């Protein structure tokens, strides 16, 4: 078994501020993902990393940067926080390959004042 | 690219009734299918994964049907109980080498005691 840890659980920032969300997994998974979930909505892919030295943009990458520091960790930076991007950010990981399920972390709830 | 439509967006049933959630997809190369459950305030948990070579899968209190001809995936909760109240998401992946899922928008299920 394993676990995905996301820090912080709650993140409050000012409009225009640069904010960083962190994700760690101990599954030894190759692939990691960042999703945004707006209240009552589905998941939108922001960035993902297929293997340790890879970085791919998702459908919602504008306004975000990501960094795969090592195999077990994947960070997401909100480059200039906006009030309309208050949401829950979910990190996920999986083994390499499309047949594998993704495991999700508990999420970081972002509030922008 | 792949598009996934999930219906209905909201569903309310009485305890003991069945609840059916359906996803239709467009990419004939889609090969792997997943159902996730998200309880209020929690992250996503995998309910079941289905490969295109199988058509019926049974879990604890639910059945997943895959109709490849119609490109339709359904989740049938038999004899729903209040603990089934949650959001349910389908996800689809294809052998295209991009390692991405496409998620449905979700169904918010409420089971009334």
Rounded distance between C-alpha atoms, residue A71 and residue A80, angstroms: 27
pLDDT at B99: 79
Reported as a single tens digit per residue, the pLDDT across B35-91 is 999 998 888 999 988 886 667 777 788 899 998 889 999 999 989 999 999 999 999
Q: Which residue of B has its CA nearest to A31?
A: B99
Per the CB < 8 Å rule, is B104 touching A42?
yes
pLDDT at B52: 67
Interface probe, candidates B44, B57, B107, chain A, greatest A C-beta count within 10 A = B44
| Three-point CA angle B29, A74, A58, nearest 5° | 40
Reported as a single tens digit per residue, the pLDDT across A48-107 is 999 998 999 999 999 999 999 999 999 999 999 998 888 999 999 999 887 789 999 999
pLDDT band at B12 (very low <50, low <70, confident <90, very high): very high
Better pLDDT: B3 or A71? A71
Closest Cα of chain B to A75: distance in Å? 18
**Mean pLDDT in residue range A23-51:** 94
pLDDT at B39: 93
Q: Which of B34, B94, B104 sits opposite A101 (nearest CB)?
A: B34
pLDDT band at B4 (very low <50, low <70, confident <90, very high): very high
Alpha helices in B3-86 (DSSP H): none
Residues of B in contact with A58 (CB under 8 A): 100
Residues of A in contact with B42 (CB under 8 A): 106
pLDDT at B54: 61
pLDDT at B94: 75
Residue where the block lists tokens 């950010």: A89
Rounded distance between C-alpha atoms, residue A22 and residue A66, angstroms: 10
Cite the beta strand spans of chain B per DSSP E. 4-7, 10-14, 19-25, 30-38, 44-51, 56-58, 62-67, 72-77, 86-94, 102-103, 107-112
pLDDT at B95: 66
Rounded distance between C-alpha atoms, residue B102 and residue B93, angstroms: 6
pLDDT band at A25 (very low <50, low <70, confident <90, very high): very high
10 Å CB burial of residue A55 (0-12, 13-18, 19+) is middle
pLDDT at B30: 82
């Amino acid at each position: 078994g394993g676990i995905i840890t996301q820090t912080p659980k709650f993140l409050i920032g000012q409009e225009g501020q640069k904010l960083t969300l962190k994700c760690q997994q101990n599954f030894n998974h190759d692939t990691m993902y960042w999703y945004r979930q707006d209240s009552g909505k589905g998941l939108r892919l922001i960035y993902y990393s297929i293997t340790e030295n890879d970085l791919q943009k998702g459908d919602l990458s504008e306004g975000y940067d990501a960094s795969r520091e090592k195999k077990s960790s994947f960070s997401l930076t909100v480059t200039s926080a906006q009030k309309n991007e208050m949401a829950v950010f979910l990190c996920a990981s999986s083994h390499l390959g499309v047949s594998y399920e993704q495991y999700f972390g508990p999420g970081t709830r972002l509030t922008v004042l | 690219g792949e598009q996934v439509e999930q219906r209905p967006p909201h569903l309310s049933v009485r305890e003991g009734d069945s609840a059916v959630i359906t996803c239709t997809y467009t990419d004939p190369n889609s090969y792997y299918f997943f159902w996730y459950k998200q309880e209020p305030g929690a992250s996503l948990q995998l309910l079941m994964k289905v490969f295109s070579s199988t058509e019926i899968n049974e879990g604890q209190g639910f059945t997943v049907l895959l109709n490849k001809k119609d490109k339709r995936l359904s989740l049938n909760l038999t004899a729903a109980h209040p603990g089934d109240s949650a959001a349910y998401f389908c996800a689809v992946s294809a052998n295209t080498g991009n390692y991405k899922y496409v998620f449905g928008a979700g169904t918010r299920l409420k089971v009334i005691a």
